[in-house]
Structure 1
Amino acid sequence: MAEEEQGVPPAPRPSFRILGPLQVHGTDGPLRVPPGRQEVILAALLLEANRVVSTGYLVDLIWEDVPPETARTQVQICVSRLRKLLAGADAEVSITTRAPGYVLHTDERNVDAALFTAGVARARLLRERGDAQRSVEELRAAVALWQGDCLPGLDSGPLANKARQLNEERLTAVELRIQLELGLGRHDRLVGELQLLTHEHPLREKLRGQLMQALYWSGRQAEALEVFRTGRRLLDEELGLEPGRELRELESAILTGTLAPPSGPAPVGPAPAGPGRAAETQAPPRADTKAPPEEPAAPAETARQEAVPHQLPAATADFVADAAQLAALEEALTGGPERTTVGLAAVTGKPGTGKSALAVQVAHRLSDSAFPDGQLYCDLRGTTGAPVTPEEVLGRFLRALGIPGQLIPESLDERAEMYRSRLASRRVLVVLDDAAGERQVLPLLPGSRRCAVLVTSRTRLTALPGAHRVELDVLGEDRALELLARIVGRERVATEAVAAEALVRTVGRLPLALRIVAARLAARPHWSLASMVQRLADERHRLDELTHGEMTMRASLALTYDGLAPADRRLLRLLSMAQAPTLPSWLAGALLDDGRPFPSDLMEPLVDVQMLDVAGVERSGGFRYRFHEIIRVYARERLASDPPGERGAALARMGGGWMYLAQQAHRKLYGGDFTVLHGDAPRWEPPAVYTQELLGDPLAWLEAEQAALCRMVEHAAEEGLHDLCWDLATTLVTLFEVRGLYDLWEQTHLCALTAARKAGNLRGTAAVRASLGSLYMSRSQFGAARQALTSALDVFQALDEPTGEALCRRDLALIARTGGDDASALELYARSLADFDRAGDVVGRAIVLTQSAHIRMRRGEFAAAQAQLDEALDTYDAVGYVGGRARTLRRVGQLLLEQGKSDLAVLTFTEVLELCRDSGDVIGEGHLLRDLGHAFSVMGRPDRARDFFDRAVTARERIMDVGGGALARLDLARLLEGEPGRARELLAPAVEVFQDRGMVRELTEARRLLAAG
């Protein structure tokens, strides 16, 4: 009988799975849990769901031996990232801090392990009540939750022990269910399952005995005895033991024919404990001391799942679909196996006809089934007067696809090639919203037929080859009435059917206008639809002209605008100055100079009447908002009547708010206002508690607000706020440098340089030039870097600006060091140190000490190098600058290796590797894997060295870093001189890279190895 015929309850679909690989189900599909520490911590919290897990226990899970001093801080960072990740789960879940650690709160029905335990407990209770049939059903449903061994691949010893405990409980549940089914006389149908289980667990005597019983009662006595003999032989060979008493007695009963047929369920042992349910109410505490390992465990495998972007905005809940349009678009995008080109569709039409809503709706419908490898989305801003360039879009998409910013090429053609290569074997949907024209779209088309592109635009895009086109017009009357009913309520529309028809005709059946009018009615249930028709008729321009252009749209918007309170109207006008894609809550407070603790309260009246849309939730718990472009244009027209002085003051506060938050983010990362110059532009401070929550992860905030911050730099330049412009641009290098956003670095700085020069701002001009010098160094453009830095240094010397002088001399020293002129570099470093000391910049001093220590190391001045690195580490620890600590520790590891202290070097490199992984620094990870390979080579451990070099090749080439991959290939080939075939396979592509990049020393070495083979 099939399970369905037995009435077996279907296995639930919990949001969190640990009975198998760790999985989290989100509202839009699976959520990727980053491997490593976050995976370990989430698994530990889920095993103890709704119970306290101590921080010490989590530290022990990650560092089983000697944890670093920053261990608890790193755990806090991981928990913070998990909170962000779990915001996308499809179940209510939260992680709260509760002494002495953390608690993951969720309904236990959301966790498969808890469901399993509860199901087994119910089964045992039913068994005790004599209901064997229902007990079997519960056990089947509980075991069906498993998707393999519990938490495979997690290296943490304590977690592996708990996983083994759960695996044991699974087998116990299976044995119990089989025991019950044998009692129900189902022995004949259990034989196959038991044979498989016995093969998988050959030393488990309980299963072997059950197989013997099933075979015997099925009339297969000889096979039953052979099962016993096979088990006895295995026990003797593997363990030197004889079978247990119960198995021996079972054999005897079969031999004598005295094994009684089943007459009911056999006795049941005690219920297994739940997942991780120890007697204590929290996880085990940390041990005070543990013996150091002989050598550190190898870092976890660096292979990661490919980045799967999910960038689609939320679909409109009350969207009214045209079934024919939806079907046509879906067919055009998905096509069939015979399709040989990329699927391409274009949705065009007048403003307000719902192009974006239709595109997003179609994209969501197809995302899981047709495009499981991800969805890319970009607002091309074609109607804003400042469209996004194809280069910018490709940069965003490549980063979303897992390519670090440092490795993204500069030219459009090279970016397009990398983009097409990245999508060649994937099924990805690309949504390009509000395109200015075909020239903006064509470079963004993938080359693979597996992918598809959906474009929206106000122009017809007739030059897009092979595109299926849908041109939207106003709604038909039936769909317009349906949209009205969904917003104001079906009963209300049915009651005033004639007025409803008149209303949709009056607004010209344009979706945006209809939504705005309907929102007013929904907010005022005491108004009749007929009264709204009358109000529309009283407007200066008749709304039946709505389909003819913008003037009638303005009249429609005026209905809602005029119904707002004066303060709300003023806020709407001032918000139109903001040029960010979405608007944060604090912006309202800045524009109105209102310091209330919950600034989103100022926005909500505009949301109520749909003059603003809610676009998302911030870390602070506040909301983000979005203008429809037509409403923004309308609001800006009304702003023109405000006094210029009021507009200017509000703009300065808005820019001051962005500047304040960017400066605070830099301070949190660096431990203070270090290695940066600031201007005198006034700041506007959002509420302190709000700011603290917003900047809980300062780098994440900078990344999330990247577009708004960069646009504010441009806006400040346009409005003549030159001091704010250069200050904000140079502060944003905090983000640009870490993430390799070189295009944005250059774009914002050239804008700021123009503004500062135009205003005659010498200090600002020098600051921007110095920062551009750092950018050019990052691009290996040393001539341009030296010129920019030298000109900036001259100005800083004239102004007696010590921080500026220090920054310029530090970077000029790095140029000299890179060129092999160590003497000049040391002289410049010495002067930079003196400048930083004059400025009181301790982090700047530590950076110089770290960089110059590398020269001391190369010269064999180990004691001097160590002293400099120790001072730098002390500084970073004092201020809490984790990034600086990681870079300095890497130099410490290299110094230890030079001194012959290979074991300590490996420990140090391993710690830095973990820091790189925690921060998402995949380029740094590649460096550290090579460092570990070199360390094990020096130690005479070629197998370990080979393993790390192999991982370095994989890590580099996965992110398309061909230069780094070639160097790692050369490292690996040196170890394989006895394997000419493998060495030749490694070196062939590396030689091409070395030739293309003029890397003479590496090319010579590669050719030598090839010749030797």
Structure 2
Amino acid sequence: MPPGRQQTVLAALLVDANRVVSLDQLIEAIWYDDPPATARTQVQICVSRLRRALAAAVGPDTLVTRGPGYELQVADGQLDARTFTGLVSGAADLTRTGALEDASRMLGAALALWRGPALSGTGSRLLEAKASHLEEQRLNAVEAHFDLGLRLGRQHQLIGELASQVAANPLRERLRGQLMLALFRSGRQAEALETYRAGRELLVEQLGLEPGDELRRLEAAILADDAGLRRSPAPEAPAALAHPPVVPFQLPADIADFTARDALIEHTERLLLGHPGRRATPVVVLAGKPGVGKTVLAVHVAHRIAEDHCPDGQLYCDLGGTRAHPADPLDVLGRFLRALGVPGPAVPGSVDERAEMYRHRLAGKRMLVVLDDAHSERQVRDLLPGSSSCVVVVTSRVRLTGLAGAGVLDVDVLDPEQATGMLATMIGTERVAAEPAAVDALVRLVGGLPLALRIVAARLAARPSWSLAWMLERLSDERRRLDELAHGELMVRASLALTYDGLAGDARRLLRLLSCLDRLSFPVWVAAALLEADPLRAADLLERLVDAQMLEISAIERDGSPRYRFHDLIRLFAREQLDEHEQASGRRAALARVSSGWLGLASEAHHRIYGGDFTVLHGSAPRLRPPADAVDRILADPLLWFEDEQDNLCSIVALAAEAGLDECAWDLAVTMVALFENRCYFDAWERTHRQALEAVRAVANRRGEAALLCSLGSLQLSRSRPDAAAEPLAAALATFEDLGDAHGTAMAHRNLALLDEARGADPQARFERALVEFRVAGDPVGEAYVLGRLAQTELDAGDEERAGAYLAEALRICDRTGTPRVEVQLRYRLSGLLMRQGRHSEAADLLTGLLTRARTARDVAGEARILHRLGLAHAHLGRRETAERLLVEALELQSRITGGAPDDRVRADLAALQALPG
């Protein structure tokens, strides 16, 4: 009986975890081709012992019997091999996006999971192959990790580890090449060549082979002292302080069944790429009637050229030229600048300043910009880069001939051959070839319009039993609609009506109600709220609408569920049907249900961020919440959810305000401040509040007005505009006091205290009053925040004992409520107290942890403050080089935030440090 058979059985089950391993496989793993007669019984005894041990260590039902063997059930994170594979895959994704520091850290974490050879100690011949596969994966990850280190300029640190790996794996040419490159870049050319010669001798002696082409080319380049092998690495920063390059990838997905348009595609690419020596930015405008396929063509061309010609990324925006209110260039530039890595506070306020910064950011970059559905030349001009290295594709219903130097291409309907090819792609060449006369008639009937053809083909594809002649007869019965189909936008309306009429009644109603949401993309729960239906029923109806080409799947949610959106023209058609078939009261009620759903989720997200309904005012609007398990999935990261849903939430505020749902509008607007403040989204903060303010004032909703004014005052303080904050804050306080609203009064007094502080006045009296009112209102987080401000006031006055008492009390509240954002602010103030007391080492440790938390939360303003103080702490500890690096980084980050005007205190501290004698 071989030793370690129980270990072998466990290993065999683990390498096939969550899959059934047959009894025969386990016998073969232990005895290979010479099992004893009692083999089955011995394996069953091993499994029984393992089941008891696993039940005690992991939990019941970990090892279960499933014919014809056993299954070891392993959850995510319980098996190092799977965690390793996931980390390696994630690192590969990060590498592709240019996030090399993060990728290197992730690979390091993956390799740290290894604690010796794979499956060691089993002695099983059957498991040797699987162990070899795992070992190959490890070595590939090791090599990828070395590649990243070389790309990050860390050749000096890598040489020793590379030499060890080459010694352990002398025949792996990739490792040997990496060692040669590291030696060469470290100025050790002779050793690099000796490493090659030793490897060559080994290959010739053991295998009779010369080194591969790649290794020979590397040797030749080293002999020639090729400058291309050298690089000037950026100064290395600790991993926790590195910022990955920003490479936006905003293009929508290409469509799999794109067909025809070959000549137009070639013409477009020639205009964009065919004149490399010119100085002007290449711009192509694709113009044509609605439904002709301008957007699909633009995205298809963009995907064709993006990878090879635009490695620095792609920017995309739907300008909404066919909407009643097209996108404002100010907002579009703000979005683009954020995508290019500009922090919120650094985004300028005017269109001209944003356009200048945008052109500066794109200067010299090879980037693609797609501007979809433009309304006019004026809307587009400020969105054009100034660099000839970029390329721009614009789509529009009008020929934008006023764009100087732009190539304008007309996108027309498909010719008969192209249209026939499109039908064949979608429904199959056999059906098209079987009825050529019906195909020709169908193409003529819809005028070669791609959208109409796609709808007709979708119906045929969904009904394989239908002949094309029968489809033709159905269209012919709609003679009035077909007449409309031949004239402008009526063409699309008639085609859409054919599909709409084929839907079941509840699907048609859902389509109509969805159109009241303007341009939102939406998850399944939105449809359920509109219909007051079960989510699974709503999901089925949404999929029917997708099958009928009336909706599109725009994305996959983080929980794996689909997300939907309208094509603009279909939304307009659905809106017409809404006006015809739904009463105004029914439309308003449907919008109220959806708004209450967004409000419910937003309130819950705020609750999870702050540990309760703290530092926020809520109104009386109802809150609709999906089932608890769905909420947990949706709000797994509540601040990230706010970020992802920002456009939808802002749009709902506007829709609710327009519909007179004033309570929902103001409540949702102020709840979103959790995002606006953290990410410095000042434009969205002001826009949503102004929209809601108009709604509450229209119905004399005094509390809603006061809440919005109080929040707008806070916005002006965040923008460093204290004079603009005074009036709304005073008005808010007066209303709250008149209404007897303790919570509102507390928040107004807190903001007025901050105003006093910004103006150089003594804020203590107002802070103390706010503290009492927060306690009366039962808002411990508001209380903790004010205690922190009072601590700072005492610290500024030199009373360290009182400052420490305030901070200790505030931190106890945070421990009780679980409020990470306020806790970080308080611990930052605590670091100041430690510095004042000369406890610089403790302060440095505390600030290092806070820096990681600020970066995880993407709190750039907090990060800059922490870097400044951490630099000072290291300076006091005599770590001059580290201190100088941190202060330089703080200065650079503040310059990004403020648009070039960093804090004079940081500049002065850095200058003082550099002036010290060496």
**C-alpha distance in 1 between matches for 2:486 and 2:207:** 79
* 1:932 pairs with 2:870: yes
Q: Aligned to 1:885, which of 823, 830, 843?
A: 823
Describe the shift of the 1:501–1:197 C-alpha distance in structure 2 as closer, same or farther (beyond 3 A).
same
* 1:347 pairs with 2:412: no
Matches within 5 A, 1:513-524: 513-524=452-463
* 1:970 pairs with 2:908: yes
* 1:857 pairs with 2:790: no
**C-alpha distance in 1 between matches for 2:405 and 2:838:** 65
Matches within 5 A, 1:363-378: 363-378=302-317
Matches within 5 A, 1:527-538: 527-538=466-477
Describe the shift of the 1:150–1:633 C-alpha distance in structure 2 as closer, same or farther (beyond 3 A).
closer
Structure 2: which amino acid aligns with 1:414? E
TM-score calculated relative to the size of structure 1: 0.72
- Name the residue aligned to 1:866: 804
Q: Aligned to 1:416, which of 355, 360, 366?
A: 355
* 1:632 pairs with 2:628: no
Describe the shift of the 1:840–1:162 C-alpha distance in structure 2 as closer, same or farther (beyond 3 A).
farther
Q: CA deviation at 1:558?
A: 1.3
- Name the residue aligned to 2:109: 44
Describe the shift of the 1:598–1:827 C-alpha distance in structure 2 as closer, same or farther (beyond 3 A).
farther
Describe the shift of the 1:265–1:452 C-alpha distance in structure 2 as closer, same or farther (beyond 3 A).
closer
Q: CA deviation at 1:265?
A: 8.1
Percent identical pairs in the alignment equals: 44
Structure 1: which amino acid aligns with 2:504? A
Describe the shift of the 1:445–1:669 C-alpha distance in structure 2 as closer, same or farther (beyond 3 A).
same
Match of 2:902, SS state, is helix
Matches within 5 A, 1:951-990: 951-957=889-895, 961-964=899-902, 967-977=905-915
1:756-790 deviation per Cα after TM superposition (whole angstroms, max 9, x unaligned) = 11101010011111011001111122122111111
Match of 1:377, SS state, is strand
Could you tell me whether the CA contact under 8 Å between 2:347 and 2:899 is conserved in 1? no
Matches within 5 A, 1:140-155: 146=143, 149=146, 152=149
- Name the residue aligned to 2:544: 605
**C-alpha distance in 1 between matches for 2:107 and 2:368:** 31
**C-alpha distance in 2 between matches for 1:557 and 1:263:** 72
Match of 2:96, SS state, is strand
**C-alpha distance in 1 between matches for 2:428 and 2:271:** 35
**C-alpha distance in 1 between matches for 2:497 and 2:317:** 30
Matches within 5 A, 1:814-853: 814-822=754-762, 825-853=763-791
Could you tell me whether the CA contact under 8 Å between 2:524 and 2:535 is conserved in 1? no
1:224-275 deviation per Cα after TM superposition (whole angstroms, max 9, x unaligned) = xxxxxxxxxxxxxxxxxxxxxxxxxxxxxxxxxxxxxx69889xxxxxxxxx
Could you tell me whether the CA contact under 8 Å between 1:902 and 1:939 is conserved in 2? yes
Structure 1: which amino acid aligns with 2:583? P
- Name the residue aligned to 1:787: 727
Matches within 5 A, 1:392-431: 392-431=331-370
Structure 2: which amino acid aligns with 1:971? D
**C-alpha distance in 2 between matches for 1:426 and 1:685:** 45
Matches within 5 A, 1:63-82: none
* 1:31 pairs with 2:97: yes
Structure 2: which amino acid aligns with 1:671? G
- Name the residue aligned to 1:578: 517
**C-alpha distance in 2 between matches for 1:808 and 1:744:** 21
Match of 2:915, SS state, is coil
Describe the shift of the 1:334–1:959 C-alpha distance in structure 2 as closer, same or farther (beyond 3 A).
farther
Q: CA deviation at 1:580?
A: 3.5
Describe the shift of the 1:699–1:50 C-alpha distance in structure 2 as closer, same or farther (beyond 3 A).
farther
Aligned-residue RMSD, C-alpha: 3.8
Could you tell me whether the CA contact under 8 Å between 1:143 and 1:170 is conserved in 2? no
Could you tell me whether the CA contact under 8 Å between 1:575 and 1:588 is conserved in 2? yes
Match of 1:430, SS state, is strand
Could you tell me whether the CA contact under 8 Å between 1:23 and 1:30 is conserved in 2? no
Q: Aligned to 1:569, which of 493, 498, 508?
A: 508
Could you tell me whether the CA contact under 8 Å between 2:709 and 2:728 is conserved in 1? yes
- Name the residue aligned to 1:460: 399
Q: CA deviation at 1:599?
A: 4.5
Q: CA deviation at 1:431?
A: 0.7
Matches within 5 A, 1:436-515: 436-515=375-454
Q: CA deviation at 1:24?
A: 4.2
Describe the shift of the 1:42–1:175 C-alpha distance in structure 2 as closer, same or farther (beyond 3 A).
closer
Structure 1: which amino acid aligns with 2:857? S
**C-alpha distance in 2 between matches for 1:543 and 1:931:** 72
Q: CA deviation at 1:316?
A: 1.5
Describe the shift of the 1:498–1:961 C-alpha distance in structure 2 as closer, same or farther (beyond 3 A).
same
Q: Aligned to 2:641, which of 690, 701, 704?
A: 701
Q: Aligned to 2:717, which of 752, 769, 777?
A: 777
Q: CA deviation at 1:581?
A: 3.6
Could you tell me whether the CA contact under 8 Å between 1:353 and 1:474 is conserved in 2? yes
Q: Aligned to 1:911, which of 829, 837, 849?
A: 849
Q: CA deviation at 1:977?
A: 2.8
Could you tell me whether the CA contact under 8 Å between 2:485 and 2:493 is conserved in 1? no
Could you tell me whether the CA contact under 8 Å between 1:876 and 1:885 is conserved in 2? yes
Q: CA deviation at 1:440?
A: 0.7
**C-alpha distance in 1 between matches for 2:745 and 2:150:** 51
**C-alpha distance in 1 between matches for 2:741 and 2:132:** 63
- Name the residue aligned to 2:320: 381
**C-alpha distance in 2 between matches for 1:395 and 1:939:** 42
Q: CA deviation at 1:452?
A: 1.7
Could you tell me whether the CA contact under 8 Å between 1:198 and 1:207 is conserved in 2? no
**C-alpha distance in 2 between matches for 1:682 and 1:720:** 15
Q: CA deviation at 1:575?
A: 0.5
**C-alpha distance in 2 between matches for 1:929 and 1:394:** 29
Q: CA deviation at 1:658?
A: 1.1
Describe the shift of the 1:486–1:167 C-alpha distance in structure 2 as closer, same or farther (beyond 3 A).
farther
TM-score calculated relative to the size of structure 2: 0.80
**C-alpha distance in 1 between matches for 2:253 and 2:97:** 17
Describe the shift of the 1:828–1:561 C-alpha distance in structure 2 as closer, same or farther (beyond 3 A).
same
Match of 2:914, SS state, is coil
1:410-448 deviation per Cα after TM superposition (whole angstroms, max 9, x unaligned) = 111111111111111211111111111111111111111
Match of 2:146, SS state, is coil
**C-alpha distance in 2 between matches for 1:860 and 1:598:** 65
Matches within 5 A, 1:39-438: 40-41=105-106, 43-45=108-110, 48=113, 117-118=135-136, 146=143, 149=146, 152=149, 168-175=164-171, 299-300=238-239, 302-438=241-377
> Where does the alignment leave 5 or more consecutive residues of structure 2 unmatched?
1-81, 119-128, 210-235
Q: CA deviation at 1:164?
A: 7.5
Structure 2: which amino acid aligns with 1:920? R
Indicate the larger mover: 949-958 or 435-444.
949-958
Structure 2: which amino acid aligns with 1:300? A
Q: Aligned to 2:659, which of 719, 726, 732?
A: 719
Could you tell me whether the CA contact under 8 Å between 1:613 and 1:625 is conserved in 2? yes
- Name the residue aligned to 2:36: none
Describe the shift of the 1:335–1:115 C-alpha distance in structure 2 as closer, same or farther (beyond 3 A).
farther
1:38-60 deviation per Cα after TM superposition (whole angstroms, max 9, x unaligned) = 85355424665999x9xxxxxxx
Describe the shift of the 1:952–1:672 C-alpha distance in structure 2 as closer, same or farther (beyond 3 A).
same
Match of 1:577, SS state, is helix
